[in-house]
Structure 1
Amino acid sequence: MNFIQHLLDAFAKMDREKLLKAYHVSLYISLFRIWNRNRFDNPIWVNRDELKTMSKIGSNNTYYKALRTLEDCGFIKYTPSFDPQVASKVYLYTFDIGTCTPPISKVNPLYKHIKYIYSIYSNEENQKEMKETNMNDKSKKAFQKPPIEHIQIYFEQKGYSEIEAQRFFNYYESNGWMVGGRSKMKDWKAAARNWMLNIQRYQVNSFEKQGTNAQDKMASKEQRNFSSRNYNEPL
Protein backbone atom coordinates (compact mmCIF):
# COMPACT_ATOMS: atom_id res chain seq x y z
CA MET A 1 0.00 0.00 0.00
CA ASN A 2 1.17 3.51 -0.81
CA PHE A 3 0.70 5.06 2.64
CA ILE A 4 1.48 8.60 1.41
CA GLN A 5 -1.29 8.44 -1.17
CA HIS A 6 -3.52 6.82 1.42
CA LEU A 7 -3.03 9.71 3.85
CA LEU A 8 -3.54 12.31 1.13
CA ASP A 9 -6.83 10.68 0.13
CA ALA A 10 -7.89 10.24 3.78
CA PHE A 11 -7.19 13.90 4.56
CA ALA A 12 -9.07 14.98 1.44
CA LYS A 13 -12.03 12.90 2.60
CA MET A 14 -11.79 14.47 6.08
CA ASP A 15 -11.94 17.93 4.51
CA ARG A 16 -15.26 17.00 2.92
CA GLU A 17 -16.76 15.58 6.13
CA LYS A 18 -18.44 18.36 8.13
CA LEU A 19 -19.00 16.13 11.18
CA LEU A 20 -15.28 15.66 11.89
CA LYS A 21 -13.48 17.70 14.50
CA ALA A 22 -9.89 17.90 15.66
CA TYR A 23 -10.14 14.92 18.02
CA HIS A 24 -11.47 12.74 15.17
CA VAL A 25 -8.38 13.54 13.11
CA SER A 26 -6.13 12.92 16.12
CA LEU A 27 -7.76 9.54 16.80
CA TYR A 28 -7.45 8.50 13.16
CA ILE A 29 -3.76 9.40 13.09
CA SER A 30 -3.24 7.32 16.25
CA LEU A 31 -5.00 4.37 14.62
CA PHE A 32 -2.83 4.86 11.53
CA ARG A 33 0.32 4.74 13.68
CA ILE A 34 -0.70 1.39 15.14
CA TRP A 35 -1.68 0.16 11.67
CA ASN A 36 1.75 1.21 10.41
CA ARG A 37 3.45 -0.81 13.17
CA ASN A 38 1.29 -3.73 12.09
CA ARG A 39 2.67 -3.45 8.54
CA PHE A 40 -0.75 -2.25 7.34
CA ASP A 41 -2.26 -5.62 8.16
CA ASN A 42 -5.98 -5.61 9.04
CA PRO A 43 -7.44 -5.87 11.59
CA ILE A 44 -5.49 -4.15 14.33
CA TRP A 45 -6.16 -4.78 18.01
CA VAL A 46 -6.45 -1.62 20.04
CA ASN A 47 -6.43 -0.71 23.72
CA ARG A 48 -8.60 2.19 24.86
CA ASP A 49 -6.09 3.72 27.30
CA GLU A 50 -3.30 3.52 24.75
CA LEU A 51 -5.37 5.22 22.04
CA LYS A 52 -6.60 7.92 24.42
CA THR A 53 -3.00 8.69 25.38
CA MET A 54 -1.82 8.79 21.78
CA SER A 55 -4.70 10.94 20.52
CA LYS A 56 -4.80 13.21 23.62
CA ILE A 57 -8.46 12.41 24.31
CA GLY A 58 -9.35 12.61 28.00
CA SER A 59 -12.97 11.42 28.06
CA ASN A 60 -14.17 7.87 27.45
CA ASN A 61 -17.41 9.22 25.96
CA THR A 62 -15.48 11.38 23.50
CA TYR A 63 -13.28 8.41 22.60
CA TYR A 64 -16.19 6.06 21.80
CA LYS A 65 -18.12 8.81 20.05
CA ALA A 66 -15.10 9.56 17.85
CA LEU A 67 -14.71 5.88 16.91
CA ARG A 68 -18.38 5.63 15.93
CA THR A 69 -18.17 8.84 13.88
CA LEU A 70 -15.08 7.59 12.02
CA GLU A 71 -16.97 4.38 11.31
CA ASP A 72 -20.08 6.22 10.10
CA CYS A 73 -17.95 8.38 7.79
CA GLY A 74 -16.34 5.31 6.22
CA PHE A 75 -12.81 5.53 7.62
CA ILE A 76 -12.80 2.44 9.85
CA LYS A 77 -14.81 -0.57 10.92
CA TYR A 78 -14.93 -0.82 14.71
CA THR A 79 -15.73 -4.08 16.52
CA PRO A 80 -15.71 -3.66 20.32
CA SER A 81 -14.84 -6.65 22.50
CA PHE A 82 -16.94 -5.65 25.55
CA ASP A 83 -14.31 -7.51 27.59
CA PRO A 84 -11.65 -5.52 29.52
CA GLN A 85 -9.22 -8.42 29.09
CA VAL A 86 -9.58 -8.55 25.30
CA ALA A 87 -8.58 -5.77 22.92
CA SER A 88 -11.12 -4.34 20.48
CA LYS A 89 -10.76 -4.86 16.75
CA VAL A 90 -10.47 -2.13 14.12
CA TYR A 91 -10.29 -2.39 10.33
CA LEU A 92 -8.84 0.62 8.50
CA TYR A 93 -10.06 1.22 4.97
CA THR A 94 -7.33 1.85 2.42
CA PHE A 95 -7.97 4.88 0.21
CA ASP A 96 -5.08 4.62 -2.23
CA ILE A 97 -6.89 1.78 -4.03
CA GLY A 98 -10.39 2.45 -2.70
CA THR A 99 -10.87 -0.95 -1.06
CA CYS A 100 -10.90 -2.52 2.36
CA THR A 101 -8.41 -5.24 3.25
CA PRO A 102 -9.73 -7.27 6.18
CA PRO A 103 -7.70 -10.50 6.40
CA ILE A 104 -8.02 -12.43 9.65
CA SER A 105 -5.16 -11.74 12.03
CA LYS A 106 -3.01 -14.70 13.04
CA VAL A 107 -2.05 -13.10 16.35
CA ASN A 108 -3.86 -13.91 19.57
CA PRO A 109 -6.13 -10.88 20.20
CA LEU A 110 -5.76 -11.24 23.97
CA TYR A 111 -2.12 -10.14 23.93
CA LYS A 112 -1.65 -8.28 20.68
CA HIS A 113 -2.45 -4.87 22.14
CA ILE A 114 0.37 -5.36 24.66
CA LYS A 115 2.79 -5.38 21.77
CA TYR A 116 1.54 -1.98 20.69
CA ILE A 117 1.83 -0.56 24.19
CA TYR A 118 5.38 -1.82 24.32
CA SER A 119 6.02 -0.21 20.95
CA ILE A 120 5.20 3.23 22.38
CA TYR A 121 7.74 2.85 25.16
CA SER A 122 10.29 1.24 22.87
CA ASN A 123 10.05 4.30 20.59
CA GLU A 124 10.63 6.55 23.59
CA GLU A 125 13.61 4.42 24.58
CA ASN A 126 14.96 4.65 21.04
CA GLN A 127 14.63 8.44 21.13
CA LYS A 128 16.44 8.48 24.48
CA GLU A 129 19.23 6.33 23.06
CA MET A 130 19.50 8.62 20.02
CA LYS A 131 19.71 11.64 22.32
CA GLU A 132 22.45 9.97 24.39
CA THR A 133 24.29 9.07 21.18
CA ASN A 134 24.15 12.69 20.01
CA MET A 135 25.48 13.83 23.37
CA ASN A 136 28.31 11.31 23.11
CA ASP A 137 29.09 12.53 19.60
CA LYS A 138 29.30 16.10 20.90
CA SER A 139 31.58 15.00 23.73
CA LYS A 140 33.82 13.30 21.18
CA LYS A 141 34.18 16.69 19.48
CA ALA A 142 35.51 18.22 22.69
CA PHE A 143 38.26 20.82 22.81
CA GLN A 144 41.66 19.77 21.50
CA LYS A 145 44.82 21.65 22.39
CA PRO A 146 46.03 23.75 19.41
CA PRO A 147 49.65 23.48 18.22
CA ILE A 148 51.89 26.40 19.12
CA GLU A 149 52.37 27.08 15.40
CA HIS A 150 48.64 27.73 14.94
CA ILE A 151 48.64 30.10 17.89
CA GLN A 152 51.64 32.00 16.52
CA ILE A 153 49.97 32.38 13.12
CA TYR A 154 46.74 33.63 14.74
CA PHE A 155 48.59 36.17 16.91
CA GLU A 156 50.57 37.34 13.89
CA GLN A 157 47.33 37.86 11.94
CA LYS A 158 46.03 40.02 14.79
CA GLY A 159 49.25 42.08 14.89
CA TYR A 160 50.91 40.52 17.96
CA SER A 161 54.34 39.03 18.32
CA GLU A 162 55.34 35.37 18.54
CA ILE A 163 56.57 36.03 22.08
CA GLU A 164 53.05 37.00 23.14
CA ALA A 165 51.72 33.86 21.45
CA GLN A 166 54.28 31.81 23.40
CA ARG A 167 53.14 33.45 26.66
CA PHE A 168 49.54 32.58 25.84
CA PHE A 169 50.46 28.98 25.09
CA ASN A 170 52.62 28.59 28.20
CA TYR A 171 49.94 30.04 30.47
CA TYR A 172 47.15 27.73 29.35
CA GLU A 173 49.48 24.77 28.99
CA SER A 174 50.41 25.16 32.66
CA ASN A 175 46.80 25.20 33.92
CA GLY A 176 45.48 22.40 31.71
CA TRP A 177 43.71 24.75 29.28
CA MET A 178 41.17 25.86 31.86
CA VAL A 179 39.36 29.20 31.62
CA GLY A 180 39.30 31.02 34.94
CA GLY A 181 40.88 27.95 36.50
CA ARG A 182 37.50 26.15 36.59
CA SER A 183 35.93 25.63 33.13
CA LYS A 184 37.42 23.55 30.35
CA MET A 185 38.28 25.69 27.34
CA LYS A 186 35.96 25.35 24.33
CA ASP A 187 37.37 27.91 21.85
CA TRP A 188 41.04 28.81 22.07
CA LYS A 189 40.66 31.65 19.55
CA ALA A 190 38.09 33.35 21.77
CA ALA A 191 40.48 32.96 24.72
CA ALA A 192 43.26 34.43 22.57
CA ARG A 193 41.14 37.48 21.73
CA ASN A 194 40.46 38.03 25.43
CA TRP A 195 44.19 37.72 26.04
CA MET A 196 44.83 40.44 23.46
CA LEU A 197 42.25 42.72 25.06
CA ASN A 198 43.97 42.26 28.42
CA ILE A 199 47.29 43.18 26.80
CA GLN A 200 45.77 46.44 25.55
CA ARG A 201 44.27 47.21 28.96
CA TYR A 202 47.62 46.53 30.63
CA GLN A 203 49.42 48.84 28.22
CA VAL A 204 46.90 51.65 28.83
CA ASN A 205 47.08 51.24 32.59
CA SER A 206 50.86 51.09 32.47
CA PHE A 207 51.02 54.28 30.39
CA GLU A 208 48.65 56.09 32.74
CA LYS A 209 50.65 54.90 35.73
CA GLN A 210 53.89 56.10 34.16
CA GLY A 211 52.33 59.49 33.42
CA THR A 212 51.08 59.78 37.00
CA ASN A 213 54.50 58.87 38.38
CA ALA A 214 56.17 61.48 36.17
CA GLN A 215 53.76 64.16 37.37
CA ASP A 216 54.36 63.16 40.99
CA LYS A 217 58.13 63.37 40.50
CA MET A 218 57.87 66.85 38.94
CA ALA A 219 55.62 68.06 41.75
CA SER A 220 57.96 66.62 44.35
CA LYS A 221 60.96 68.28 42.70
CA GLU A 222 59.21 71.65 42.61
CA GLN A 223 58.23 71.25 46.24
CA ARG A 224 61.85 70.54 47.19
CA ASN A 225 63.07 73.55 45.22
CA PHE A 226 60.40 75.68 46.82
CA SER A 227 61.31 74.59 50.36
CA SER A 228 65.10 75.05 49.79
CA ARG A 229 64.86 78.71 48.80
CA ASN A 230 66.03 81.45 51.20
CA TYR A 231 63.48 84.21 51.09
CA ASN A 232 65.56 86.51 53.35
CA GLU A 233 67.83 87.29 50.39
CA PRO A 234 66.70 89.70 47.64
CA LEU A 235 65.96 88.37 44.19
Structure 2
Amino acid sequence: MSNSTPIFAYTRAWFDFAFISNDVKPVHHAIYFYAIQLNNMLGWKETFGFPASQVMEVTGIASYNTYIKAFRELVDWGVIKLIRKSENQYKANLIALSKFDESIDKSLTNSVLNHMPDQERIKVKNSDSIDKPIPDTYKSTNKEKEREFIRPTLDEIYNEMKFKGLNEKRAGRESKNFFDYYESNGWRVGKVKMKKWKNTVSRWVNNDHNFKSPQISKQNGKSKSETEPAINGTRQSEAESNLRGF
Protein backbone atom coordinates (compact mmCIF):
# COMPACT_ATOMS: atom_id res chain seq x y z
CA MET A 1 0.00 0.00 0.00
CA SER A 2 1.30 3.41 -0.89
CA ASN A 3 2.06 5.57 2.15
CA SER A 4 1.23 8.73 0.20
CA THR A 5 -2.38 7.81 -0.49
CA PRO A 6 -3.61 5.47 2.26
CA ILE A 7 -7.20 6.77 2.08
CA PHE A 8 -7.44 5.92 -1.62
CA ALA A 9 -5.84 2.49 -1.10
CA TYR A 10 -8.15 1.58 1.80
CA THR A 11 -11.19 2.89 -0.08
CA ARG A 12 -10.42 1.03 -3.27
CA ALA A 13 -9.75 -2.24 -1.45
CA TRP A 14 -12.95 -1.85 0.57
CA PHE A 15 -15.14 -1.30 -2.48
CA ASP A 16 -13.49 -4.20 -4.29
CA PHE A 17 -14.57 -6.35 -1.37
CA ALA A 18 -18.03 -4.76 -1.03
CA PHE A 19 -18.72 -5.26 -4.73
CA ILE A 20 -18.27 -9.02 -4.45
CA SER A 21 -19.80 -9.60 -1.01
CA ASN A 22 -23.56 -9.89 -0.62
CA ASP A 23 -23.45 -9.04 3.09
CA VAL A 24 -22.09 -5.49 3.14
CA LYS A 25 -24.72 -3.00 4.33
CA PRO A 26 -24.75 0.80 4.82
CA VAL A 27 -23.91 0.34 8.50
CA HIS A 28 -20.66 -1.41 7.54
CA HIS A 29 -19.74 1.42 5.17
CA ALA A 30 -20.40 4.00 7.89
CA ILE A 31 -18.29 2.28 10.55
CA TYR A 32 -15.39 1.43 8.26
CA PHE A 33 -15.11 4.88 6.71
CA TYR A 34 -15.26 6.55 10.09
CA ALA A 35 -12.39 4.30 11.17
CA ILE A 36 -10.40 5.49 8.13
CA GLN A 37 -11.22 9.11 8.85
CA LEU A 38 -10.38 8.83 12.56
CA ASN A 39 -7.02 7.21 11.83
CA ASN A 40 -6.32 9.92 9.25
CA MET A 41 -6.92 12.62 11.89
CA LEU A 42 -4.60 10.74 14.28
CA GLY A 43 -1.80 10.70 11.69
CA TRP A 44 -2.13 7.09 10.57
CA LYS A 45 -1.23 5.18 13.70
CA GLU A 46 -0.71 1.44 13.72
CA THR A 47 -3.33 1.07 16.50
CA PHE A 48 -5.88 3.54 17.84
CA GLY A 49 -8.89 3.72 20.11
CA PHE A 50 -12.31 3.26 18.55
CA PRO A 51 -15.01 4.09 21.14
CA ALA A 52 -18.43 2.68 20.29
CA SER A 53 -20.35 5.66 21.70
CA GLN A 54 -18.39 8.10 19.54
CA VAL A 55 -18.76 5.99 16.42
CA MET A 56 -22.51 5.63 16.98
CA GLU A 57 -22.93 9.38 17.47
CA VAL A 58 -20.97 10.33 14.36
CA THR A 59 -22.49 7.69 12.07
CA GLY A 60 -26.05 8.02 13.40
CA ILE A 61 -26.37 4.41 14.50
CA ALA A 62 -29.03 4.45 17.22
CA SER A 63 -28.82 0.85 18.45
CA TYR A 64 -25.74 -0.53 20.20
CA ASN A 65 -26.74 -4.05 19.14
CA THR A 66 -26.81 -2.94 15.49
CA TYR A 67 -23.40 -1.32 15.87
CA ILE A 68 -21.67 -4.17 17.67
CA LYS A 69 -23.04 -6.75 15.22
CA ALA A 70 -21.71 -4.79 12.23
CA PHE A 71 -18.40 -4.09 13.98
CA ARG A 72 -17.84 -7.77 14.73
CA GLU A 73 -18.60 -8.64 11.10
CA LEU A 74 -15.95 -6.17 9.95
CA VAL A 75 -13.50 -7.90 12.29
CA ASP A 76 -14.55 -11.33 11.02
CA TRP A 77 -14.07 -10.19 7.42
CA GLY A 78 -10.53 -9.11 8.26
CA VAL A 79 -10.81 -5.43 7.29
CA ILE A 80 -10.47 -4.30 10.94
CA LYS A 81 -8.14 -5.95 13.46
CA LEU A 82 -9.36 -6.02 17.04
CA ILE A 83 -6.21 -5.53 19.14
CA ARG A 84 -7.91 -5.20 22.50
CA LYS A 85 -11.60 -5.60 23.23
CA SER A 86 -13.37 -2.98 25.35
CA GLU A 87 -15.06 -3.92 28.60
CA ASN A 88 -18.29 -2.10 27.69
CA GLN A 89 -19.76 0.26 25.14
CA TYR A 90 -18.39 3.32 26.94
CA LYS A 91 -14.75 2.23 26.69
CA ALA A 92 -12.85 2.15 23.42
CA ASN A 93 -11.82 -0.89 21.48
CA LEU A 94 -8.20 -0.79 20.39
CA ILE A 95 -8.15 -1.53 16.68
CA ALA A 96 -5.93 -1.41 13.60
CA LEU A 97 -6.84 -1.08 9.96
CA SER A 98 -5.74 -4.09 7.98
CA LYS A 99 -3.18 -3.43 5.29
CA PHE A 100 -4.33 -4.67 1.93
CA ASP A 101 -1.28 -6.71 1.07
CA GLU A 102 -1.22 -10.38 0.10
CA SER A 103 -2.22 -11.54 3.57
CA ILE A 104 -5.38 -9.42 3.70
CA ASP A 105 -6.16 -10.34 0.10
CA LYS A 106 -6.20 -13.99 1.19
CA SER A 107 -8.37 -13.10 4.17
CA LEU A 108 -10.81 -11.25 1.95
CA THR A 109 -10.82 -14.10 -0.57
CA ASN A 110 -11.71 -16.59 2.14
CA SER A 111 -14.42 -14.27 3.43
CA VAL A 112 -15.89 -13.91 -0.03
CA LEU A 113 -15.76 -17.66 -0.60
CA ASN A 114 -17.82 -18.21 2.54
CA HIS A 115 -20.59 -16.07 1.08
CA MET A 116 -20.48 -17.37 -2.50
CA PRO A 117 -22.57 -20.12 -4.13
CA ASP A 118 -20.64 -23.36 -4.61
CA GLN A 119 -20.30 -22.86 -8.39
CA GLU A 120 -18.83 -19.38 -8.01
CA ARG A 121 -16.59 -20.53 -5.16
CA ILE A 122 -14.90 -23.09 -7.42
CA LYS A 123 -13.88 -20.33 -9.86
CA VAL A 124 -11.85 -18.39 -7.30
CA LYS A 125 -10.75 -21.18 -4.97
CA ASN A 126 -6.98 -21.43 -4.49
CA SER A 127 -6.59 -17.87 -5.78
CA ASP A 128 -3.89 -15.81 -4.03
CA SER A 129 -5.76 -12.54 -4.51
CA ILE A 130 -9.20 -11.26 -5.38
CA ASP A 131 -7.55 -9.08 -8.02
CA LYS A 132 -5.12 -11.78 -9.21
CA PRO A 133 -4.53 -11.36 -12.97
CA ILE A 134 -5.55 -14.18 -15.27
CA PRO A 135 -2.41 -15.98 -16.50
CA ASP A 136 -1.51 -15.42 -20.15
CA THR A 137 -1.52 -19.16 -20.74
CA TYR A 138 -5.17 -19.31 -19.62
CA LYS A 139 -6.07 -16.43 -21.93
CA SER A 140 -4.30 -18.13 -24.82
CA THR A 141 -6.15 -21.37 -24.18
CA ASN A 142 -9.48 -19.55 -24.20
CA LYS A 143 -8.63 -17.82 -27.47
CA GLU A 144 -7.67 -21.14 -29.02
CA LYS A 145 -11.01 -22.60 -27.97
CA GLU A 146 -12.83 -19.61 -29.45
CA ARG A 147 -11.01 -20.14 -32.76
CA GLU A 148 -11.59 -23.91 -32.82
CA PHE A 149 -13.85 -24.87 -35.73
CA ILE A 150 -16.38 -27.67 -35.30
CA ARG A 151 -17.40 -29.22 -38.60
CA PRO A 152 -21.19 -29.16 -39.11
CA THR A 153 -23.12 -32.31 -39.87
CA LEU A 154 -25.09 -32.79 -43.07
CA ASP A 155 -28.34 -32.47 -41.10
CA GLU A 156 -27.21 -29.18 -39.57
CA ILE A 157 -26.40 -27.78 -43.01
CA TYR A 158 -29.74 -29.03 -44.36
CA ASN A 159 -31.69 -27.40 -41.52
CA GLU A 160 -29.76 -24.14 -41.90
CA MET A 161 -30.51 -24.02 -45.64
CA LYS A 162 -34.20 -24.64 -45.00
CA PHE A 163 -34.11 -21.86 -42.41
CA LYS A 164 -32.56 -19.59 -45.05
CA GLY A 165 -35.51 -20.23 -47.39
CA LEU A 166 -34.70 -23.23 -49.59
CA ASN A 167 -37.41 -25.83 -50.06
CA GLU A 168 -36.84 -29.39 -48.89
CA LYS A 169 -35.71 -30.73 -52.26
CA ARG A 170 -33.34 -27.88 -52.98
CA ALA A 171 -32.03 -27.85 -49.39
CA GLY A 172 -31.36 -31.60 -49.61
CA ARG A 173 -29.37 -31.25 -52.83
CA GLU A 174 -27.49 -28.10 -51.90
CA SER A 175 -26.62 -29.26 -48.37
CA LYS A 176 -25.05 -32.41 -49.87
CA ASN A 177 -23.14 -30.28 -52.42
CA PHE A 178 -22.02 -27.89 -49.70
CA PHE A 179 -20.84 -30.68 -47.40
CA ASP A 180 -19.00 -32.59 -50.15
CA TYR A 181 -17.30 -29.47 -51.47
CA TYR A 182 -15.96 -28.21 -48.15
CA GLU A 183 -15.17 -31.70 -46.88
CA SER A 184 -12.93 -32.13 -49.93
CA ASN A 185 -11.02 -28.87 -49.38
CA GLY A 186 -10.57 -29.21 -45.64
CA TRP A 187 -13.31 -26.72 -44.74
CA ARG A 188 -11.52 -23.70 -46.11
CA VAL A 189 -12.93 -20.54 -47.61
CA GLY A 190 -10.33 -19.71 -50.19
CA LYS A 191 -7.06 -20.26 -48.34
CA VAL A 192 -8.49 -19.44 -44.91
CA LYS A 193 -9.76 -22.02 -42.46
CA MET A 194 -13.53 -21.69 -42.06
CA LYS A 195 -14.59 -20.10 -38.77
CA LYS A 196 -18.37 -19.64 -39.01
CA TRP A 197 -19.99 -22.19 -41.27
CA LYS A 198 -23.45 -20.60 -41.00
CA ASN A 199 -22.11 -17.44 -42.62
CA THR A 200 -20.72 -19.56 -45.47
CA VAL A 201 -24.11 -21.29 -45.84
CA SER A 202 -25.78 -17.87 -46.06
CA ARG A 203 -23.49 -16.81 -48.90
CA TRP A 204 -24.08 -20.14 -50.63
CA VAL A 205 -27.87 -19.74 -50.43
CA ASN A 206 -27.83 -16.05 -51.38
CA ASN A 207 -25.89 -16.88 -54.54
CA ASP A 208 -28.05 -19.91 -55.29
CA HIS A 209 -29.72 -18.45 -58.40
CA ASN A 210 -26.49 -17.12 -59.92
CA PHE A 211 -23.97 -19.64 -58.65
CA LYS A 212 -23.79 -23.30 -59.67
CA SER A 213 -22.68 -25.36 -56.71
CA PRO A 214 -19.17 -26.83 -57.15
CA GLN A 215 -19.18 -30.59 -57.64
CA ILE A 216 -16.61 -33.16 -56.63
CA SER A 217 -17.25 -35.64 -59.47
CA LYS A 218 -16.06 -34.68 -62.96
CA GLN A 219 -17.52 -35.56 -66.34
CA ASN A 220 -15.06 -35.29 -69.24
CA GLY A 221 -12.99 -32.75 -67.32
CA LYS A 222 -16.03 -30.62 -66.46
CA SER A 223 -18.07 -30.50 -63.28
CA LYS A 224 -21.63 -31.71 -63.22
CA SER A 225 -22.84 -28.13 -62.81
CA GLU A 226 -20.97 -27.17 -65.99
CA THR A 227 -22.55 -29.94 -68.09
CA GLU A 228 -26.16 -29.58 -66.94
CA PRO A 229 -26.87 -26.32 -68.83
CA ALA A 230 -25.76 -27.89 -72.14
CA ILE A 231 -27.93 -30.96 -71.57
CA ASN A 232 -30.91 -28.80 -70.70
CA GLY A 233 -30.22 -26.66 -73.77
CA THR A 234 -30.22 -29.72 -76.07
CA ARG A 235 -33.48 -30.94 -74.60
CA GLN A 236 -35.02 -27.52 -75.06
CA SER A 237 -33.94 -27.39 -78.77
CA GLU A 238 -35.39 -30.85 -79.41
CA ALA A 239 -38.65 -29.79 -77.83
CA GLU A 240 -38.82 -26.65 -79.98
CA SER A 241 -38.15 -28.69 -83.17
CA ASN A 242 -40.94 -31.10 -82.30
CA LEU A 243 -43.32 -28.20 -81.73
CA ARG A 244 -42.44 -26.71 -85.15
CA GLY A 245 -43.08 -30.11 -86.71
CA PHE A 246 -46.62 -29.93 -85.48
TM range (shorter): 0.3 to 0.5
Computing the radius of gyration from Cα coordinates, the structure with the larger value is 1
State TM-score, norm by structure 1. 0.39
